[in-house]
Structure 1
Amino acid sequence: MPSPADEDGSVVVERVAAALTAYVCGDALGLPYEGKPATGDGDEEIERPRAGDRWAAGETSDDTALTLLAARCLVDAGGEADAVTFLSRLAALDPVKGAGPSTRAAVAHFRRFGEVPDDRAGATNGAPMRALPVGWSTPSTRPELLVARTVELTRATHRSPEALVAACVMAGCASWSVTGPWAAGGSAAALLDVAVETLEVAQRLCGAAPGLAALLGEVVEGGWRPPATGVSLDPGETVAAVLHCVRRADSLRGGLLAAVRLGGDVDTVAALVGGLLGARSSVRQVRVQLPWSARMLLPDEVEVRRLAAALVSVRAAAAGSRRVAGRRLRSGW
């Protein structure tokens, strides 16, 4: 796996802040099109804030809410966030508007029994959707630590191997994306190499994910095509759609527009596309590339920067430690 040493902390903080900003912008952009067929709307029409059935114009979805929750749990625990803590915090917030079926089921179980479900349920894309903060807070030089942290935070709501491995792939891509080669205009082929190598590590530790492996292979070969019915809640399909859009994007704006045009669960796809492509920019550059973002109901920029700085502090600590976290992985998955 390409694994350059982490750079100056302030540089990485800016990249993480930009990536998180672009993530929430993608969520807001895609939300009005969520669950709808592929669209032929023009660029300006897609970028016009509008209200939906459940959402105010410019609002962000559960994708942003749960990703921010995951990031805060990681920061508070110094990277060692556990499934019980995440699920207890989630239950305290519930209902989270728009939360998916796996998340709702896990919260219901926790409220009834006070524990994380012990099964292999939860096979939807809520797993990769909130995985980027794990990557931002874990150095790309420590893939097994990244997988361990991702699994521990993900299993609170998603425990199927396909979902766990999909989350690990997104976390691996996020970890590498805030390092120099990608920010300097590195090729999408290198990012796909990271995805494939993270897949291999994650499958050794989490179990086989043949569906995701096949779809990722199609993306690498350039043969993946979006489903005619739009991107579903399948975690592998979501990861494939994200990497397909990133591979073909000529800009952050272009990548987000392409994601929205896929149809289906496009707010999640667009958010993840933004989270990867945004790492090539500063927060200011993201805002300049996406001028419509000023009309969206986004998290406070000061808080985004503080959270990015805290995540990078966790990353730096992990770079200096060789201890592998993850109780659940040691007991076998």
Structure 2
Amino acid sequence: MPEQVRARALGAFYGLALGDALGMPTQSMSRARIKDRYGSITGLVDAAPDQPIAPGMPAGSVTDDTEQAVLVAKLLVEGRGRIDPHAFAGALRAWEADMIARGSRDLLGPSTKRALELLDAGLDPQQAGVTGATNGAAMRVTPVGIANPVGDRLLDAVAQASMVTHNTSLGIAAASAIAAAISASLDGADLGAALDEAERAADQGARRGKWVPGGEIGPRIRWARQWVRGMSRDNVADAVAEVIGTSVAAQESVVAAIALVEVLEHDALTVAAQIGGDTDTVGAMTGAILGAQHGLAGLPADQVGKVREVNRLELEPLVDELLALR
């Protein structure tokens, strides 16, 4: 495996963790409240005591985005590229139980929780996720993008990784977009070409799950990329927060991350942290794409080092095993 591919893969996974940690203190808060509570965020900061999801968490802490991505990576390695749905469900339940034991409020999202309840009731794994239209599959899909080249194999792997919780046209399309942007970047595509692949993968991924109503991911990515080009930093933040949206809905937060990357590049991470809504997930997806583009050396070393230290995060062995699958 060429060294530059490994550097980009490490950049993708550590970029996910960095974007997640930058957005941790502001998640589920409004833009106005973020500005009032933290001022301008330019780096990793402690969560305020009144943070609704992660009160008082230390600067650099990651959330469910990174932890579930690590979970997916381990299952991919154990399954030699395939994820067993029952093993996935069991791992998600164990993860949430551990979070509860740690006193965290950062638990499973609405789509995942509903899917696991249906599995417990005896529903087939292929049916459990047929209402999941949030960003849960997209937030944890980075390992799938690292382990698979762009094409049908990648789309198959995304659909399989999404099936238990997000087996819908929106859920799979959103995850396909993020995975394709990362995978194409690993193979040397520039940012424009990587985001073009994201559009194509979203269009194709939308055909793989149960259709659910809502603005479609591929067309929304195309529109958003064109609309934000040439905007100033402040205008992009307004456009994303007020029109594209930053909620857990797949057609908002996933499109928001791609729009930020399209026009802001490295500024996208700090804007994502201040934009309001699902800031940790928007930041995680933004960071994964930027890290895949620029490699680990393209991320701020001091901030990555802090995230590694605070979370005892050593992703190199996992990344090497994912690249062996690729």
Q: TM-score, normalised by structure 2?
A: 0.82
Q: Return the offset for 1:285.
A: 4.5
Instruction: Give 1:212-291 correspondences, 5 Å limit.
Output: 212-223=217-228, 225-228=239-242, 231-251=246-266, 254-288=267-301, 290=303
Once residues 81 and 28 of structure 1 are traced to their aligned partners in structure 2, the CA distance between those partners, rounded to angstroms, is 27
Pair 1:137 & 2:152 matched? no
Query: Quick check: 2:138–2:174 contact (8 Å CA) kept in 1?
Result: yes
Q: Return the offset for 1:115.
A: 4.8
Once residues 305 and 295 of structure 1 are traced to their aligned partners in structure 2, the CA distance between those partners, rounded to angstroms, is 11
Once residues 300 and 195 of structure 1 are traced to their aligned partners in structure 2, the CA distance between those partners, rounded to angstroms, is 28
Q: Return the offset for 1:113.
A: 2.6
- RMSD of aligned residue pairs (Cα, Å): 2.5
Secondary structure of 2:251's match? helix
Aligned partner (choices 31, 49, 74) of residue 46 of structure 2? 49
The structure with more helix, counted as a fraction of residues: 2
Deviation digits for residues 73-102 of structure 1, max 9, x if unmatched?
Answer: 111111122322211222233334332111
AA matched with 1:311: L
Query: Quick check: 1:28–1:296 contact (8 Å CA) kept in 2?
Result: no
Query: Quick check: 2:168–2:206 contact (8 Å CA) kept in 1?
Result: no
Q: Give aligned-pair identity as a percent.
A: 26
Deviation digits for residues 151-210 of structure 1, max 9, x if unmatched?
Answer: 1111111122111111111111111121223xxxx2x32222111211232234446674
Partner of 2:322: 311
Instruction: Give 1:1-333 correspondences, 5 Å limit.
Output: 8-38=1-31, 39-40=34-35, 41-44=39-42, 47-51=44-48, 52-55=51-54, 56-58=57-59, 59-95=61-97, 96=99, 97-113=106-122, 115-116=124-125, 118=127, 120-140=130-150, 143-181=151-189, 186=190, 188-206=191-209, 210-223=215-228, 225-228=239-242, 231-251=246-266, 254-288=267-301, 290=303, 293=306, 297-301=310-314, 304-315=315-326
Deviation digits for residues 293-327 of structure 1, max 9, x if unmatched?
Answer: 359623423xx000010000000xxxxxxxxxxxx
Secondary structure of 1:155's match? helix
AA matched with 1:234: A
AA matched with 1:26: G
Q: Return the offset for 1:249.
A: 2.1
Once residues 118 and 256 of structure 1 are traced to their aligned partners in structure 2, the CA distance between those partners, rounded to angstroms, is 36
Partner of 1:326: none
Once residues 194 and 306 of structure 1 are traced to their aligned partners in structure 2, the CA distance between those partners, rounded to angstroms, is 28
Once residues 310 and 298 of structure 1 are traced to their aligned partners in structure 2, the CA distance between those partners, rounded to angstroms, is 21
217 and 279 in structure 1: CA distance in 2 versus 1, 3 angstrom threshold:
closer
Secondary structure of 2:310's match? coil
AA matched with 2:90: S
AA matched with 2:178: M
> Unpaired segments of 5 or more residues in structure 1?
1-7, 316-333
Which deviates the most, 231-240 or 282-291?
Answer: 282-291
Once residues 308 and 70 of structure 2 are traced to their aligned partners in structure 1, the CA distance between those partners, rounded to angstroms, is 20
Deviation digits for residues 25-58 of structure 1, max 9, x if unmatched?
Answer: 11111011111112443244x5323343443213
Once residues 223 and 323 of structure 2 are traced to their aligned partners in structure 1, the CA distance between those partners, rounded to angstroms, is 33
Q: Return the offset for 1:109.
A: 2.8
Deviation digits for residues 226-276 of structure 1, max 9, x if unmatched?
Answer: 24395111101112111111111242xx12101112210010000111111
Q: TM-score, normalised by structure 1?
A: 0.80
Once residues 75 and 289 of structure 1 are traced to their aligned partners in structure 2, the CA distance between those partners, rounded to angstroms, is 29
AA matched with 2:142: L
AA matched with 2:155: V
AA matched with 2:313: D
Query: Quick check: 1:25–1:298 contact (8 Å CA) kept in 2?
Result: no
AA matched with 2:306: S
Once residues 50 and 134 of structure 1 are traced to their aligned partners in structure 2, the CA distance between those partners, rounded to angstroms, is 30
